[in-house]
Structure 1
Amino acid sequence: MTFSVWLGLALVCILGAVSPGPSLVVMMRHSLAGGRLHGIVAAWSHALGVGFYALLTLLGLAVILKESPTLFTAIAYAGAAYLAWLGIKSLRAKGGVAAKLEKGEKTTLWEAARDGAMISVLNPKLALFFLALFSQFVAIGTDTFSRSVIVITPFAIDGLWYTLVTLALSSPLMLEKLKQKAVLIDRLCGVVLIGLAVRVVVTL
């Protein structure tokens, strides 16, 4: 794999990572409720999910996913249900970001890892993203090194991007401002997540 080909791959992965969506909401919630470490754990757990789909594409299993409407629909509904569950948690006073901040409580590292991983693994759009844009690079890389780079690149870019997001959200100045708006953030996160869940169901 040449550097120019890798650069094209990296650019595609960057565009995919920076696109706003439910993942950004999850990083924001854990950075607020748990702090910097929790946000970073959520970020790299999310990256593992991205790497998982990259590996599926490399092995050709993503094609099977696309050609199996029943399996794809099941994953889509599971993802929608998880988004809705996260949204309801945000809307409820007990267990939401605002309540945890007010009581001085933190989310656990397990919760951060779980939400980060699930929000990517249960997102069937990742499979379509890799099929549409990423598969062209899979055909180019046939040796072991190229295949490793193809999988590691989206994993690393996604993890680094959301780590930067977490660092920005958990900086003392930014965190203090966000804490003052914790209740509003709870409500907005809940509405956004439930709205995304509804959108997934409607577009199936």
Structure 2
Amino acid sequence: MSFSLWLTLVAVCALGAATPGPSLALVLRHTLQGGRSSGIAAALAHALSVGVYALLTVLGLGALLLGQPWLFKTVTLLGGAYLFWIGFQALQTRPTAIKPDEFNPDQQRKAWRDGFLVGLGNPKLILFFLALFSQFVSPELDWHGHLLIILTVMLIDAGWYLVVAVVFSHARFLPWLERRGHWFNRFAGLILIGLALRLIVQVLLER
């Protein structure tokens, strides 16, 4: 893969990662609820799930999943239900002090679990990757090229959400966030529930 083609891949992936959606709401929620370490855990776990879908797409399994509509719909519905559950929990957030460097094992496990499952519960990533990778994957591309594509997708996704977690847990913002962070969590919960309902309705209305 040429350097210019790789830069095109980087640009498209960066735009995709920066688009607001359930992943951004999730990372913000864990950052505001558990501090920097929880936000970082959610960001890395989400990047791992994105890497799983990128790998499946490169290997051709993405096309296989799309060829089985019932399986695609099942995964989408499960992802929507999990988004709804996370959003419902966020609505119950209470004011709490934010400690950006405190390590809480339980909060870490929740952040890793939510980050990975929210990404994995979004099989429409396969649609994105199929459309995107069709421009970059060719029969002549060897495994080094495939690996480069997968790592590029993962690193850009992780990089963007790591920036979000670090910025929102910065000491300059903490006093303000500690007073209003629970409202951000509740707002994120509303976004997650809205996205979940839209996702579920779209799947149920598809023929």
TM-score under structure 1 length normalisation: 0.91
Hey, what does 2:16 align to over in structure 1? 16
Hey, what does 1:152 align to over in structure 2? 151
- CA-based RMSD of the aligned residues comes to 1.9
The question of whether the paired residues in 2 share the 8 Å contact of 1:33 and 1:105 is answered with no
CA distance in 2, matches of 1:44, 1:144: 24
Hey, what does 2:84 align to over in structure 1? 84
- 1:63 to 2:45 alignment: no
CA distance in 1, matches of 2:175, 2:202: 38
Q: Which one-letter code corresponds to 2:80 in the other structure?
A: A
CA deviation after TM superposition for structure 1 residue 68, in Å: 1.0
Hey, what does 1:48 align to over in structure 2? 48
**Cα displacement string for residues 24-83 of structure 1 (whole angstroms, at most 9, x for unaligned residues):** 111111111111111111111100011111101110000011111101100110011001
- Greater percentage in helix: 1
Hey, what does 2:142 align to over in structure 1? 143
Structure 2, unpaired ranges of 5+: none
> How many residue pairs were aligned?
199
The question of whether the paired residues in 2 share the 8 Å contact of 1:45 and 1:116 is answered with yes
CA deviation after TM superposition for structure 1 residue 182, in Å: 2.4
Q: 1:141 to 1:39 in 2, by over 3 A?
A: farther
- 1:197 to 2:196 alignment: yes
Greater mean deviation of Cα atoms: 129-138 or 187-196: 129-138
Greater mean deviation of Cα atoms: 134-143 or 64-73: 134-143
**Cα displacement string for residues 67-113 of structure 1 (whole angstroms, at most 9, x for unaligned residues):** 11101100110011001000110112xxx2x35549x9965211111
CA distance in 1, matches of 2:147, 2:182: 43
Q: Which one-letter code corresponds to 1:17 in the other structure?
A: A
The question of whether the paired residues in 2 share the 8 Å contact of 1:32 and 1:175 is answered with no
Q: Which one-letter code corresponds to 1:12 in the other structure?
A: V
Q: After the TM superposition, which parts of structure 1 deviate over 6 Å for at least 4 consecutive aligned residues?
A: none
Q: Which one-letter code corresponds to 2:45 in the other structure?
A: S
Greater mean deviation of Cα atoms: 138-147 or 172-181: 138-147
State the secondary structure of the residue aligned to 1:77. Answer: helix
The question of whether the paired residues in 2 share the 8 Å contact of 1:28 and 1:39 is answered with yes
Hey, what does 1:132 align to over in structure 2? 131
Instruction: Determine what percentage of the aligned residue pairs are the same residue.
Output: 45
CA distance in 2, matches of 1:36, 1:173: 13
The question of whether the paired residues in 1 share the 8 Å contact of 2:96 and 2:178 is answered with no
Q: Which one-letter code corresponds to 2:83 in the other structure?
A: L
CA distance in 2, matches of 1:141, 1:130: 19
Structure 1, unpaired ranges of 5+: none
CA distance in 2, matches of 1:14, 1:41: 20
TM-score under structure 2 length normalisation: 0.90
The question of whether the paired residues in 1 share the 8 Å contact of 2:95 and 2:178 is answered with no
Hey, what does 2:117 align to over in structure 1? 118
